[in-house]
A and B are shown apart, each in its own frame.
Chain A
Amino acid sequence: MTQMTDWKLLAAARGLAVPEAELERICAVLTGLETAFRPLVKTIPPETEPAPVFACAPEVSR
């Protein structure tokens, strides 16, 4: 099972001065996002390159 991020610890390490109630909200969103994202990452073939500068190519073969 994948280790999930401790968002509160990370926020503290990152130096985020966020009130506790706001931090709770943020952590809940990020936990939800991480739960959805981790399985997707496992599907990436190793040769897949990122698209850091995204260019949308036209359809070449119809």
Chain B
Amino acid sequence: MTILEAAAALRAGQVSSLELTRAALHRIAASDSALRSFITVTVESALQQARAADQELVSGPDRGPLHGIPVAVKDVFCTRGVLTTCGSKIFADHVPDHDAAVVERLRAAGAVLAGKTNLHELAYGITSSNPHFGVVRNPCDTQRIPGGSSGGSAAAVAAGMVFMAMGSDSGGSIRIPASFCGCVGLKPTYGRVSRYGVMPLDFSLDHMGPLTRSVRDAALTLQALAGHDPRDDTSSREPVPDYLPPEDPSLAGLRLGLPENFYFDQVQEEVAAAVRAAAAAAQGLGARVSSVRVPDIAGLNTVARIILYAEASAGMEPYLERREDFGEDVRSLLEQGRLVAATDYVNAQRLRRMFVGQFRALFREVDALLTPATPITAPRIGQAEVDIGGQSEDARLASTRLVRGINALGLPALSVPCGADSQGLPIGLQIIGRPFEEALILRIGAALEAAGSGTGPGTG
């Protein structure tokens, strides 16, 4: 069931928010000892919020499609009076005295907060095998990682525990788990969703967005979250359009680019075939799909990594003496960042500006790009290297290779399920758009979804 379907059932009196919330909590209790997708489940407050939502649906006000819907947020979003660990031992006892802007807006929209999801430690990695709060498992195959860093959010949505879970994305952390778990994952434009109250990994690369079971659910969630917030210096004043895609799935008149370089260079064959099939489906819906040459994405990824390392280590500098309190992989990354020269960081920021210009030119030729979200399907837990066409590659670098650079550009990007490999593992299509054109990429994603291009979340 999607948010839109649940919202209709709520208003038709077929179900109550209390029933939906009890079902969500039951599913979490039944499945989460295996999946470890939650760090904190807020049972009592969720039931209380559900009762209040039901009362409001009778007496008003009706707060819109999220009203009475059980959701979760990644444990980087501050929640007043509720533990917010960032998946880290450092913050294991951190109880904020305020809500993140995203949490405020979800509450204002009537959503019921069922809990806080597990993640890769400090949102700094792609496995979500958290040394402090447990190894998150992929509901599609519990021997495999869900991706990360928003792995708990993706697993919770794919397993049907909640209808939507918020993630954060500094180098693919929404889109990678969406791709591996068969969810929809939206990374909005930088500045579109407030970062206020989110424990930062990288000040200039962090983006907040939803993981959902349908594109339309991602759209209506963004509708509730988007808008200027004076408490976040980077929050945009761009007007908020209507994001919900039209029922008509036509893509007539759109120019979609299929990269001829980089994005298909080292990709599992089944992934490439599924993405090309989605492009063909888009063409069938009226879009003009053309082959385009994209800027130097390998170079852009290098730039993004330097910014990531330097900013993450700067933010965590006060805690780095507590070496033993970090997992091994995160500790290594934080130590690497301490060695990045200031001149390299500044030059990375100069190169970033150059790449933004190159992409602006590209987006005069096309309205959106279609690429694989990840070159691989979900690796096994503990698998350090992946094999792509006979070549071995570090699993973390492979998983981030097609998504990381987009964070440095701030562009909106959507990962949508577009099929499965021969083992039944989901494949993700990435749709990249111009700044603040989330409505367009959501329209493309919804059209492909309606055309049956994807498989939907893993275990439903």
Q: How far is the CA of A59 from the CA of B437 in the complex (A)?
A: 9
Whether A41 lies near B347 (C-beta < 8 A) is yes
Nearest residue (CB) in B for A39 is B299
Given the complex, which residues of A lie within 8 Å of B364, measured CB to CB? Answer: 62
Tell me whether A54 and B410 are in contact (CB under 8 A).
yes
B48 within 8 A of A: no
Name the CB-closest residue of A to B300.
Answer: A40
CB distance from A47 to the nearest CB of B (A): 10
For A18, list chain B residues within 8 Å (CB): 335
When C-beta atoms are compared, the residue in chain A nearest to B352 turns out to be: A51
- Write the chain B residue with the least CB distance to A18: B335
Interface residue A44 (Cβ < 8 Å from any Cβ of B):
yes
Contact: B306 with A59, CB < 8 Å?
Answer: no
Query: Which residue of A has the minimal Cβ distance to B364?
Result: A62
Q: Which residues of B contact A40 (CB under 8 A)?
A: 296, 299, 302-303, 351
A22: chain B residues at CB < 8 Å are: 328, 331-332, 335
Q: How many residues of B contact A (CB 8 A)?
A: 46
A:31-62 near B, CB below 8 Å:
33, 36-37, 40-41, 43-44, 48-59, 62
Question: Chain A: which residue is nearest B309 at the CB level?
Answer: A33
Q: Which secondary structure dominates chain B's binding surface?
A: helix
Interface stretch, picked from B67-75, B147-155, B231-239, is: B231-239
B26 on the A face (CB < 8 A): no
CA–CA, A56 to B411, complex, Å?
8
For B302, the chain A residues whose CB sits under 8 A away are 33, 36-37, 40
Pick the contact of B336 from A29, A43, A59 — CB < 8 Å?
Answer: A29
* CA of A11 to CA of B340, assembled, Å: 10
Q: Which residues in chain B, 327-381, are within 8 Å of chain A measured between CB atoms? A: 328, 331-332, 335-336, 338-341, 344, 346-354, 356, 360, 363-364
In angstroms, Cα B298 to Cα A41, docked, is: 14
A60 to chain B, nearest CB (A): 10
Give chain A residues whose Cβ lies under 8 Å from the Cβ of B306: 33, 37
Q: Does B77 contact A (CB under 8 A)?
A: no
Which A residue sits closest to B347, measured CB to CB? A41
CA distance A51 to B363 in the complex (A): 21
Task: Give A1-32 interface residues, CB cut-off 8 Å to B.
Answer: 5, 7, 10-11, 14, 16-18, 22, 25-26, 29-30
Kindly state whether residue B434 has any CB partner on chain A within 8 Å: yes
Tell me the nearest residue of chain A to B354, going by C-beta.
A48
Cα-based distance from A59 to B410 in the complex (angstroms): 12
Contact A54-B332, Cβ < 8 Å, known A14-B338, A40-B303, A44-B350:
no
Q: A26-B336, A56-B191 are in contact. Are A50 and B344 (CB under 8 A)?
A: no
B129 CB, min distance to chain A CBs, angstroms: 18
B360 partner residues in chain A, CB cutoff 8 A:
59
Give the distance in Å from the alpha carbon of A59 to the alpha carbon of B436 in the complex. 8
Check B323 for interface membership: any CB of A closer than 8 A.
yes
The 6 nearest A-B residue pairs measured at CB: A56-B410, A50-B349, A36-B302, A54-B204, A56-B190, A48-B350
Residues of B within 8 A of A (CB): 189-191, 204, 233-234, 236, 238, 296, 298-299, 302-303, 305-306, 323, 328, 331-332, 335-336, 338-341, 344, 346-354, 356, 360, 363-364, 409-411, 434-437
